[in-house]
Structure 1
Amino acid sequence: MTSSPDAATPETAPTTDPAGRAFATIGVVGLGTMGAGIAEVFARNGFSVVGVEVNDEAVQRGRQHLEHSTGRAVQRGKLSEEDQAELIGRVTFTTTLKDLADADFVVEAVVESIEIKKSIFRELEGIVKPDTILATNTSSLSVTEISTANLHPGRVIGVHFFNPAPVQNLVEIVRTVVTEEEVLEDVKGLVARLGKSPVICGDRAGFIANTLLFGYLNHAASMYEAHFATREDIDAAMRFGCGYPMGPLALLDLIGLDTAYEILDTMYKQGRDRLHAPAPILKQLVTAGFLGRKTGRGFYTYEEPDSHVVVADARTPDREHSPELKRPVRSVGVVGTGTMATGIVEVFARAGYDVTYVGRSDAKVDGVRTSIERSLDKAIQRGKLEESAKAETLGHLTGTTRLDDLATADLVVEAVVEDLAVKTTLFENLDEICKAGAILATTTSSLPIISCATATKRPQDVIGMHFFNPAPVMKLVEVVSTVTTADDVHETVLALCATLDKVPVSCGDRAGFIVNSLLFPYLNDAVKMLEAHYATADDIDTAMKLGCALPMGPFELLDVVGNDVSLAIQRELYLEFREPGFAPAPLLEHLVTAGYLGRKTKRGFRDYSS
């Protein structure tokens, strides 16, 4: 998810942190990929670093990590050979902890074993100065328990760098109930001087980023295990529907399924949240030795161990037989005049389909055309559309207030209000109006499509086409089949999406489909984290954007989507799955009750009035 570090020229280290504590010599215990990266971060910023490993062979590996990382920066012209030599020269390599006697700050980055970490901290206390701060880089273990190895646990703190440390800007600073306030402030200042973005949180398994991330990843694994959707479609849905840099199953393979299992298991044992209980498929894959990229096989199969190149296997879709239009689609009807309906009309018209759209009044019908003209003008101004394409697109449009004008349409897409009674009544009418063989589609994002289908005498012709907003921009369409949907209807809609330059993914008819059923429990977990006063909204957003490379933090996204919309979807998910962890967070319900719906009301999780 990240690239190799772009090193800046090292600067001279400060002799004193802004908070007042002197930081000159930094100790790093453990020089694996993470430890070596942390050592590099400090050395880049001018600090003297003492790196400790268990033996000479491990020391040599740690030196090689450092040389390779800085060497890439030299190759990219981000660091001169002289600066590289100077940086490496700031690091002293050793096999004895006693060489940390003069360190002002020591960070441990060894294997995730509570006993090994405690033994290191116990030994360090007899070596370092009384005011030396001791930090652990653990990603899931209890910092409080680690601190019990020390007679002075108040100087122990969690400092969780993200991999690769030279690139990732996020650092989670984890305070325990006994961490001294001045230690917290001094470490926060130190991390900021490294050019990193520190976020403060309490001591619980997973901290901020992993708690939210791994719940989402675990849910995706369970979705795949239940055969609800293919691995390719689950990953494509989150990439194209949410703008995530990687799909959840590909990300699990990158992290390592053994690592993911251990983190989830630790989180579950500490919090007893069933949503963190590792999906059985994770244990099965780990037991089989399929750990992800590092072994060449996980959810996907790779060219070789440690390769990122995915190769075909028995579960790979047959690319030689692309979906075909089993039913002819030349004319399209769209019911609705809202933002989503207008976008869908534009998508079909720009793809060359004749579109008849139906509104409740002439004013609403005219509004659709006006909105599409404005959208096309913007595209022309940005050089994304030729002037001639505007007239051609508008020539495909026919507006009407009569549902009966859809009688000859090959496909009708419903995009009216998210009210099941309204939708089922509409489908009853479409069933009477539309010709035999016409495909009837709904764009609902959360309501049961089967209810729309059974409102007709042709349930085999009914399917879900869930476009994402704004429809002309967003690539994803979730193609949702019910238990009654005919195979030729499903294949036709998949092929149709390709003609619209969209990315279709297939799934079954259950609340949330793919994207919303993965996205909204994650957002709900973030709200629960905030209402528990575990971390601030700003720190949670920062953690997810910088630590997980997400385009928006959860509270930014909630305020954009609308807290009322989010609450409605979360309620649907809870009613469908009866999963206690899916129950809407009380804080979300309270904000909606108060009318704090997000940006549209100028107040949500943040105030937008100024």
Structure 2
Amino acid sequence: MTRELGCVGVVGLGTMGAGIAEVVARTGIRVIGVELDQDCVDRAREHLEYSTERALSGGKLDAAARTALLDRISFTTSLADLADADLVVEAIPESLELKARVFTELEEVCRPDVILASNTSSLSVTEIGVHTGRPGKVVGLHFFNPAPVLKLVEIVRTVVTEPDVVADVEAFARKLGKEPVVIGDRAGFIANALLFGYLNHAVSMYESRYATREDLDAAMRFGCGYPMGPLALLDLIGLDTAYEILETMYRQSRNRLHAPAPILRQMITAGLLGRKSGRGFYTYDGLDSPVVVPDVLTPAPAGGTEVSTRDVQRVGVVGTGTMATGIVEVFAKKGFDTVLRARTADRATAALAAVRKSLDRQVVKGRLSEEDREAVLGRIRGVVDLDELADCDLVVEAVAEELSIKRAVFGALDEVVKPGAVLATTTSSLPVIECAAATSRPSDVVGLHFFNPAPVMKLVEIVSTIATAEDVVATARAVCRKVGKHPVHCSDRAGFIVNALLFPYLNDAVKMLEAHYADADDIDTAMKVGCGLPMGPFELLDVVGLDVSLAIERTLYYEFRDAGFAPAPLLEHLVTAGRLGRKTGKGFRDYS
């Protein structure tokens, strides 16, 4: 039976500590907040008054509840005032030396049965605990920012943490309305270990000028449904905090992907810490402001480019699969005469039926009128003869993700499509230059990577090779905007933006599972609840298909030759065993 924790101490009342104090006080528990001096206490009190005032304005608290909440929190500058606490949560800056000193002092003032918890996001809880004479009472209790909003709490047990302590803290977290996951003591725990490798990779892309900050962030928001792009998220977290977390992870893992990108240290030295300093990867209209303002790196408004574009009236699409029919629908709905080329008449008929079925669903849902549906279908023509694409201004190849097949298609298109037409491939990971090299006009070839389902997903990655002409890229961008898509631009290398950031993160999750650090459910929960992602890594892998995921990860590994990108053996074994995800009924999970 778990014990009742009637009084909780919080040491450190910055943004995180004040948030924890608010969460605890909301449940009716008395809170004793400790800060360094009276100025820090005054700032903490202001923070809590502001936060609860927002909750009041938002209808999440009434006036009486707000008053009662604030009355439950007392403030002090002396750790000795924690003598009556049943649980003490330390939430000071990420310094092992500082935390060790606090825990040593807490041992002297707290009762022997008091649970001592650290809100560290990356430091070793074991190392913190050994600075007390009661390491069995020490546990990690990692809240996520903002603590009053985010539901996840990582409870970190060391090899000596007493089981009763873990049970008590888990029950306490549930009483706070949080979703706890219990894990062992490892740098980064679950969420940060997976999140910060991905963030660091995005910084490296930005540092190498592979893509702009805006395109990196938009790619992950529109391509993966993430609530924030990686660079905007780093600005929110604080670049100094992110650097310390990465350093801690790298010291333990020695994984080069965790080694902080050099530009992070440069930005920190220059005082560019993110929102809290008013400037990080973006510039803000004040300290701690979320409002981004234009700066020298802000791109010109859409349509402001001086590069001319080619006229596109008729579009050809080669292929009859889900992606091909989706792209056909996208262009036809926006007024383009669209030619769908299939290998056989039967395939063409089936593909047109798939487009009609999709439009019919939209009519049923009231998103499209019957007249508009017929107009869209009237702009689509199914053909078998490749010569029917001769007069197209843009031809999009959407056949199987097999390089030899794509090269054959581009070689054939080169012979029949008029000069000056743009030739595009929808490949998600294969080299676009290989398709271009199969033609006599490589400057006209570009990657147009739509995301599935194409009629719904807003993102399109525009991929230029070393041979792609500037006006072809400008044309691709203009066409994407005309069909209501958000284009992002990058150069031709494995994974482009989204897959290059997404699949190493998914691979890291598989490695974490493989190491028995946490189970698939806890890892998925950590990333959905703690980071706000729409799906956990194992849910997503099962949806994408483990065979598809493995192929992309192998492509990334063969291109970059980084050991950190090597596919996890567990993923390879599951594919060999035929467990490919939802499409086979078995993947990381079993489906009925």
TM-score category (smaller protein):
over 0.9
**Residue number in structure 2 paired with 1:576:** 559
CA distance, structure 2, for counterparts of residue 328 and residue 143 of structure 1 = 62
1:127: Cα distance to partner?
2.1
Matched, 1:180 2:183: no
Tell me which residue corresponds to 2:50.
Answer: 68
Say which is worse superposed, 498-507 or 65-74, in terms of deviation: 65-74
Which residue of the partner structure matches residue 556 of structure 1?
A: 539
Question: Which residue pairs with 1:290 in the alignment?
Answer: 272
Q: Is the 8 A contact 2:94 2:244 kept in 1?
A: no
Counterpart position of 1:456 = 439
2:227 corresponding residue in structure 1: 245
Query: SS state of the match for residue 290, structure 1?
Result: coil
In 2, Cα distance between equivalents of 1:479 and 1:516 = 14
Question: Which residue in 1 is equivalent to 2:299?
Answer: 317
Q: Secondary structure at the match of 1:135?
A: strand
Amino acid at match of 1:549: G
What do residues 442-491 of structure 1 show as CA deviations (whole Å, max 9, x unaligned)?
Answer: 00001111011011111111111000000000001101110111111111
Counting only pairs closer than 5 Å after superposition, residues 27-106 of structure 1 correspond to structure 2 as 27-106=9-88
> What is the SS of the residue equivalent to 1:322?
coil
Aligned to 1:367: 350
Deviates more, 1:590-599 or 1:314-323: 314-323
Per the alignment, residue 285 of structure 2 pairs with 303
Structure 1 residue matching 2:121: 3-state secondary structure: coil
Q: CA offset at residue 161 of structure 1? A: 0.5
More moved, 572-581 vs 81-90: 81-90
- In the TM superposition, what is the alpha-carbon distance from 1:163 to its structure 2 partner? 1.1
TM-score, normalization: structure 2?
0.98
Match of 1:263 in 2: 245
The RMSD of aligned alpha carbons is 1.3
Q: Equivalent residue of 2:343, what SS?
A: coil
Matched, 1:395 2:384: no
Alignment of 1:484-563 (within 5 A): 484-563=467-546
Where 1:570 maps in the other structure, the secondary structure is helix
Q: Which runs of 4+ in 1 moved over 6 A?
A: none
Contact 1:154–1:179 under 8 Å retained in 2: yes
Which residue of the partner structure matches residue 483 of structure 1?
A: 466
- Kindly indicate whether residue 195 of structure 2 is the aligned counterpart of residue 213 of structure 1: yes
**In 1, distance between residues paired with 2:303 and 2:43?**
48
Deviation at 1:321, TM superposition (A): 4.1
Counterpart of 1:596 (choices 579, 584, 591) is 579
In the aligned structure 2, how far is the partner of 1:87 from the partner of 1:493?
A: 56
Q: What residue is the counterpart of 2:315 in the other structure?
A: 332
Q: In the TM superposition, what is the alpha-carbon distance from 1:261 to its structure 2 partner?
A: 1.1
The separation in 1 between residues aligned to 2:58 and 2:292, in whole angstroms, is 27
- Tell me which amino acid in the other structure corresponds to 2:310: R
Q: Match for 1:253: what amino acid?
A: D
Q: Helix, strand or coil: the match of 2:31?
A: strand
The unaligned stretches of length 5 or more in structure 1 are 1-18
Q: For 1:496, give the aligned amino acid.
A: V
| Equivalent pair of 1:26/1:106 in contact (CA under 8 Å) | yes
User: Separation in 2 of the partners of 1:325 and 1:401?
Assistant: 33
Q: Does the aligned pair in 2 maintain the 1:325–1:495 contact within 8 Å?
A: no
1:436 to 407, 412, 419: 419
Aligned-partner SS, 2:395: strand
Q: Distance in 2 between matches of 1:171 and 1:268?
A: 23
Tell me whether 422-431 or 318-327 shows the greater mean CA deviation: 318-327
- CA shift digits 1:281-333 (9 cap, x unpaired): 11111111111122222111222222222222222112174357621211111
User: TM-score scaled by structure 1?
Assistant: 0.95
Q: 2:92 aligns with which of 105, 110, 115?
A: 110
User: 1:149 is matched with which residue?
Assistant: 131
Q: For 2:155 and 2:454, how far apart are their aligned partners in 1?
A: 40
Deviations for 1:195-245, whole angstroms, at most 9, x for unmatched residues?
Answer: 100011111111111111111111001001111111111111111111111
SS in 1 for 2:154: strand
User: Is the deviation greater in 479-488 or in 74-83?
Assistant: 74-83
Cα distance in 2 for partners of 1:195, 1:280 equals: 39
Give the letter for the 1:126 counterpart.
E
Instruction: Give how far 1:381 is off.
Output: 1.9
8 Å CA contact 1:325, 1:493 repeated in 2: no
Provide the C-alpha distance between the structure 2 equivalents of 1:552 and 1:23, rounded to a whole number of angstroms: 34
Q: CA deviation at 1:502?
A: 0.6
Letter paired with 2:489 = S
Aligned residues of 1:105 and 1:132 also touching (Cα < 8 A) = yes
Could you tell me which residue of structure 2 aligns to residue 127 of structure 1? 109
Partners of 1:361 and 1:499 lie apart in 2 by: 31
CA contact (8 A) 1:355 1:398 kept: yes
Aligned position for 1:416: 399
**Structure 2 unmatched ranges of 5 or more:** none
Letter in 2 for 1:260: A
Aligned-pair distance for 1:132?
1.4
Q: Does the residue aligned with 1:298 lie in a helix, a strand or coil? A: coil
Higher mean alpha-carbon deviation, 63-72 vs 410-419, is at 63-72
CA-CA distance at 1:273 after TM superposition: 1.0
Task: Give the distance between the partners of 1:331 and 1:72, measured in 2 at CA.
Answer: 53
CA–CA distance in 2 between the matches of 1:293 and 1:58? 20
Q: 1:230: which partner in 2?
A: 212
Alpha-carbon contact 2:2-2:164 (below 8 Å) kept: no
Compared with structure 1, are the counterparts of its residues 140 and 126 closer, same or farther at alpha carbon in structure 2 (3 Å cutoff)? same
Match in the other structure for 1:606: 589
Tell me by how many angstroms 1:336 deviates: 0.6
Task: After superposition, give the CA deviation of every residue in 1:94-148 in whole Å (9 maximum; x if it has no partner).
Answer: 2222222222111111121111211111122222222211100011111000000
Count of paired positions: 591
Q: Distance in 1 between matches of 2:475 and 2:227?
A: 29
Instruction: Work out which of the residue numbers 307, 310, 327 in structure 2 matches 1:344.
Output: 327
Change (3 A) 1:382 1:255: same
Deviates more, 1:229-238 or 1:301-310: 301-310
Q: Render the CA deviation track for 1:167-199: whole Å, top value 9, x for unaligned.
A: 111101011111111211121111111110001
Secondary structure at the counterpart of residue 126 of structure 1:
helix
Give per-residue Cα distances to partners, 1:35-54, cap 9 Å, x unaligned. 11111111110111122222
Range 591-600 or range 52-61, more displaced: 52-61
8 A Cα contact 2:125 2:185, kept in partner? yes
Q: Distance in 2 between matches of 1:330 and 1:354?
A: 7
Amino acid at match of 2:272: F
Describe the superposition over 1:5-47 as per-residue Cα deviations: whole angstroms up to 9, x where unpaired.
xxxxxxxxxxxxxx33232111111111211111111111011
For residues 389 and 493 of structure 1, what CA distance do their matches in structure 2 show?
26
1:354 aligns with 2:354: no
Report how far residue 511 of structure 1 moved: 0.4
Structure 2 CA distance, aligned partners of 1:355 and 1:566? 31
Query: Amino acid of the residue matched to residue 363 of structure 2?
Result: I
CA–CA distance in structure 1, aligned partners of residues 393 and 66 of structure 2: 66
* Identical amino acids, percent of aligned pairs: 65
Task: Say which SS state the counterpart of residue 539 (structure 1) adopts.
Answer: helix
